[in-house]
């Protein structure tokens, strides 16, 4: 990554700040735990100004022409998609942020952020500025004027701006605005800016300068805690489905998202919208059988109504299976079907002296009513 020069801008910012304090050393600017395949150096600072020649701090060429920072890889696109947090290398103030740029650049020449793409810049107490470039779109987690602690989350690794693949471009600028190599070695400067820079092609320490400080009191020092301003976030915490790396393992919401990529259970399938609502690869599944059952129930209801409608006014008789002479008074009853006015089927009950008389009265009344209607007609 070789962004556009911003020496004058950084000089003005530095001069506007307070007088430099004691020099601050940096921690490795990744959150979470690392392996050799998930965190590694992809390019050191190029110490040779002449075009076409390059040399890193160890007198080798693990860099590229004109590179004025240190690049740390994350395992290509899978590592980026898993979510790798970028954290503050030291305490400082946020002096600039940029977000909203395309974050899967492979050309090395994508627009936005003066070559850094989505990025954050911090000014530290000693006047130096650190830049964290090529972040994931939408991941910038701080605002201008905010004070951050060493180890606080700034964003996530992406591939925005002048980038060919996912990595963090970490850049140091002195109080005068000039870029500087944070490593020391046989071909480098006399000072290292790291708490412990580690071996060649290794990684710097995650320990913060001077600190066993635990800013949020959660029992994890700032050098280990990926968000030392939030006591709910620290190594060993229970991961929750909230878009945050609660346990500081470098991944967000691992094993907690549903099939649709959201928190909580899958939504229920909605019939008739031709959408796979529950993200199981099927559309409107199990909807047709329910529709058939509803249709069958409706048909049965219609059939029952027609049977009652077909009964005529003369359909009066004993209940099936009862005695037909009523002599014992126990198994006698009537169904009376009358066209308008006498109700629909009235089931008989076991006959007794009183109830039989009532039934006979009902039959006579309905017969009389039918006779009156015949005369009126």
pLDDT digits (tens, 9 = 90+) for 234-293: 998 999 999 899 999 988 888 888 889 889 888 898 888 888 888 988 888 777 655 455
pLDDT score at 85: 96
Average of pLDDT values for 178-190? 96
Q: Mean pLDDT lowest for which of 181-185, 270-274, 322-326, 350-354? A: 322-326
pLDDT at 185 over 90: yes
Domain residue extents for the chain: 1-256, 265-310, 316-376
- The per-residue pLDDT for 39 is 95
* Sequence-ordered list of residues with C-beta below 8 angstroms from that of 149, at least 6 positions apart, any chain: 88, 91, 213, 215, 222, 228, 229
pLDDT at residue number 5: 44
The superfamily CATH assigns to domain 1-256 is Glucose Permease (Domain IIA) (2.70.70.10)
Proportion of the chain in helix, strand, coil states, percent, rounded to 5: 20, 15, 65
Q: Other C-beta atoms within 10 Å of 195: how many?
A: 23
Q: What is the pLDDT of residue 269?
A: 86
Residue 227 or 40, more confident: 40
Dist CA 58 CA 192 (whole Å):
13
196 pLDDT band, cuts 50/70/90, is: very high
What's the confidence (pLDDT) of residue 328? 45
Q: Range with the lowest mean pLDDT among 103-107, 131-135, 213-217, 310-314?
A: 310-314
The pLDDT value given to residue 372: 64
Give pLDDT, residue 353.
Answer: 56
Rounded mean pLDDT, 188-216: 88
Rounded to whole angstroms, the Cα distance separating 217 from 235 reads 13
Is the pLDDT at 63 greater than 90, yes or no? yes
Give residue 266's pLDDT: 86
* H/E element, 170: strand 167-173
Q: How far is CA 287 from CA 268, 292, 298, 301, in A?
A: 12, 9, 17, 22
DSSP state of 232: T
Is the pLDDT assigned to residue 141 strictly greater than 90? yes
């Amino acid at each position: 990554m070789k962004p556009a020069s911003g020496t004058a801008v950084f000089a003005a910012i530095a001069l506007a700040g307070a007088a430099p304090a004691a020099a601050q050393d940096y921690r490795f600017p990744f959150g979470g735990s690392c392996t050799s395949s998930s965190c590694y150096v992809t390019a050191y600072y190029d110490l040779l100004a002449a075009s076409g020649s390059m040399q890193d701090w160890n007198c080798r060429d693990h860099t590229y022409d004109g590179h004025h920072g240190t690049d740390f890889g994350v395992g290509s696109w899978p590592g980026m998609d898993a979510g790798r947090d970028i954290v503050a290398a030291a305490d400082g103030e946020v002096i600039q942020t940029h977000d909203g740029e395309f974050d899967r650049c492979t050309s090395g020449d994508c627009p936005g952020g003066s070559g850094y793409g989505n990025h954050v810049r911090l000014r530290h107490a000693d006047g130096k500025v650190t830049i964290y470039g090529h972040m994931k779109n939408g991941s910038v987690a701080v605002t201008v004027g905010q004070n951050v602690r060493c180890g606080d989350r700034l964003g996530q690794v992406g591939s925005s701006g002048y980038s060919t693949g996912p990595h963090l471009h970490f850049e140091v600028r002195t109080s005068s605005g000039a870029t500087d190599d944070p490593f020391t070695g046989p071909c480098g400067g006399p000072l290292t800016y790291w708490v412990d820079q580690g071996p060649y092609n290794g990684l710097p320490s995650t320990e913060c300068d001077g600190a066993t400080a635990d800013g949020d009191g959660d029992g994890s020092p700032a050098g280990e805690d990926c968000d030392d301003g939030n006591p709910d976030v620290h190594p060993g915490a229970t991961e929750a489905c909230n878009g945050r790396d609660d346990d500081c393992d470098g991944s967000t919401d691992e094993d907690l998202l549903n099939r649709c990529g959201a928190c909580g259970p899958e939504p229920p399938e909605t019939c008739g919208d031709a959408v796979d609502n529950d993200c199981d690869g099927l559309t409107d599944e199990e909807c047709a059988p329910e529709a058939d059952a509803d249709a069958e129930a409706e048909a049965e209801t219609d059939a029952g109504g027609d049977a009652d409608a077909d009964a005529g006014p003369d359909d009066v008789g004993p209940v099936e299976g009862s005695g037909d002479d009523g002599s014992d008074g126990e198994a006698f009853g009537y169904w009376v079907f009358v066209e308008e006015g006498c109700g629909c089927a009235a089931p008989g009950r076991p006959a007794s002296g009183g109830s039989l008389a009532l039934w006979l009265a009902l039959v006579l009344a309905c017969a009389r009513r039918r006779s009156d209607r015949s005369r009126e007609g």
